[in-house]
């Protein structure tokens, strides 16, 4: 029964349903739950540094239960999306209720959508990878699949990686640089893949072109069915969804960098190049994303068997709490900067105003 703990991730869409049902100030229940109640629970609950070993580990890796708990997010995310769009386009709601419901849906799109898409995008089966791409659609971030799998995992913790926050870079600066650079990087990677296969731009294998068409068709369909309010609501919720992702990206690698070898190449990605957290609540609702160090060490490993490594840099708080703290840069810097090794600070440096360093 303890394996069913990951169903706790579904409390986020449940909180959004509560907001839809009661409305009023309860429209903001999801952000309150995600960034107030969960952080409090993280402080109260103990850390869990244990890893599965031997036969138990093999059983967990082979169990389909963990896969189905991921798949369950797909009908829930799209069911909530469709119902919310219908509701906001037909009901009489105040502006603050619309804002609250938009933020709530955006949080679900970022956690139960993009986060689950990230896990499925690393799977070996084509069907699972396609399901992952589908979950990226409502957040307007289908290009994430290409950039993350072919770019980020090769360049993490280097200046070449758009998704690695530099030392002393604020999360607000990072939102801007990461969103733009990741999109550009995805197109560069796509064109490189096409060139390597001797294919032109107009080909069925140009995934970035298909992503653009699908996302435009998605928004056009929403406009036809739910009107202008539905369209603006969907765009806003999607933006909140991908800003959730980018905030997680920010805290995952903030200030950490791989050192350059005498050959001019970077050292390989190791467990020291991602921030780790063993706070139980964050681990469960984010499907072990908080054991990010091990994910980068072996990206094909399924979420339920990700390990804790003693050498991994540890966050003082869980991921949900850290996301909130990152929104207050002076507080974030005071907590995290002393934890970054000096040699990494020199390798990953950003001026104090938060803009990326040149070079």
Chain mean pLDDT for the chain: 94
Please give, one letter per residue, the 3-state secondary structure of 136-149: HHHHCCCCHHHHHH
* Distance, CA of 301 to CA of 349 (rounded, Å): 31
Here the tokens at position 299 are 């990206």
- Read off the pLDDT of each residue in 10-31 and give the average, rounded to a whole number: 98
Judge contact between 112 and 77, C-beta under 8 A.
Answer: yes
Q: What pLDDT shows up at residue 29?
A: 98
Q: What are the structural domain ranges in the chain?
A: 2-157+167-258+265-347
DSSP state of 283: H
Closest by CA to 47, choosing from 316, 248, 275, 335, is 316
Find where tokens 């089966």 sit. 125
- Read off the pLDDT of each residue in 261-284 and give the average, rounded to a whole number: 93
- Given a cut of 80, is residue 46 above it in pLDDT? yes
* Distance, CA of 213 to CA of 25 (rounded, Å): 37
109-136 per-position pLDDT tens digit: 999 999 999 999 999 999 999 999 999 9
- Given a cut of 50, is residue 183 above it in pLDDT? yes
293-322 per-position pLDDT tens digit: 999 988 889 999 999 999 999 999 999 999
128-157 per-position pLDDT tens digit: 999 999 999 999 999 999 999 999 999 999
Cβ partners under 8 Å of residue 63, min gap 6: 3, 304
Q: What pLDDT shows up at residue 356?
A: 44
- Given a cut of 70, is residue 353 above it in pLDDT? no
188-221 per-position pLDDT tens digit: 999 999 999 999 999 999 999 999 999 999 999 9
59-96 per-position pLDDT tens digit: 999 999 999 999 999 999 999 999 999 999 999 999 99
* DSSP per-residue letters across 30-84: HHHIIIIIHHHHHHHSPB------HHHHHHHHH-SHHHHHHHTHHHHHHHHHHHH
- Given a cut of 50, is residue 352 above it in pLDDT? no
- Read off the pLDDT of each residue in 7-24 and give the average, rounded to a whole number: 98
Q: What pLDDT shows up at residue 358?
A: 34
As a whole number of angstroms, the longest Cα–Cα distance in the chain is 65
User: What is the percent of the chain where pLDDT is above 70?
Assistant: 97
Q: What pLDDT shows up at residue 348?
A: 61
**Alpha-carbon distances of 289 from 26, 65, 252, 301, 336, rounded to whole Å:** 28, 18, 9, 12, 19
Residue 306 has φ and ψ, to the nearest 5°, of -65, 140
163-182 per-position pLDDT tens digit: 999 999 999 999 999 999 99
Judge contact between 174 and 165, C-beta under 8 A.
Answer: yes
Judge contact between 278 and 42, C-beta under 8 A.
Answer: no
- Given a cut of 90, is residue 355 above it in pLDDT? no
Q: What pLDDT shows up at residue 343?
A: 86
Counting DSSP H helices and E strands in the chain, the numbers are 18, 0
* Distance, CA of 255 to CA of 269 (rounded, Å): 15
């Amino acid at each position: 029964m303890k394996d069913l703990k990951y169903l706790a991730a579904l409390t986020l869409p449940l909180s959004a349903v509560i907001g839809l049902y009661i409305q009023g100030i309860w429209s903001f229940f999801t952000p309150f739950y995600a960034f107030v109640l969960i952080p409090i629970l993280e402080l109260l609950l103990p850390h869990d540094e244990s890893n599965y070993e031997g036969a138990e580990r093999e059983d967990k890796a082979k169990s389909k239960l963990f896969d189905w708990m991921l798949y369950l997010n797909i009908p829930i995310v799209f069911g909530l999306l469709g119902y919310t769009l219908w509701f906001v386009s037909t009901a009489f709601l105040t502006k603050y209720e619309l804002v609250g419901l938009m933020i709530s849906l955006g949080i679900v799109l970022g956690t139960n959508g993009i986060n689950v898409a990230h896990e499925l995008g690393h799977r070996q089966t084509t069907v699972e990878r396609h399901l992952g791409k589908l979950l990226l659609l409502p957040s307007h971030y289908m290009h994430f699949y290409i950039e993350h799998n072919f770019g980020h995992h090769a360049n993490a913790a280097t200046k070449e990686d758009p998704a690695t926050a530099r030392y002393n870079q604020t999360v607000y600066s990072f939102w801007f640089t990461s969103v733009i650079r990741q999109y550009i990087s995805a197109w560069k990677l796509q064109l490189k893949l096409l060139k390597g296969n001797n294919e032109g731009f107009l080909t069925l294998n140009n995934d970035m072109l298909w992503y653009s068409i699908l996302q435009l068709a998605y928004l056009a369909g929403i406009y036809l069915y739910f009107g202008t309010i539905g369209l603006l609501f969907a765009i806003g919720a999607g933006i909140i969804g991908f800003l959730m992702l980018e905030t997680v990206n920010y805290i995952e690698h903030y200030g950490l960098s791989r050192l350059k070898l005498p050959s001019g190449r970077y050292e390989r990605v190791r467990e020291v190049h991602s921030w780790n957290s063993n706070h139980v609540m964050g681990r469960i609702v984010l499907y072990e994303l908080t054991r990010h160090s091990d994910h980068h060490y072996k990206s094909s490993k399924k979420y339920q068997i990700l390990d804790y490594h003693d050498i991994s840099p540890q966050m003082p708080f869980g991921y949900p709490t850290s996301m909130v703290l990152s929104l207050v840069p002076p507080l974030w810097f005071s907590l995290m900067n002393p934890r970054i090794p000096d040699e990494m600070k020199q390798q990953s440096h950003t001026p104090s105003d938060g803009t990326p360093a040149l070079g």
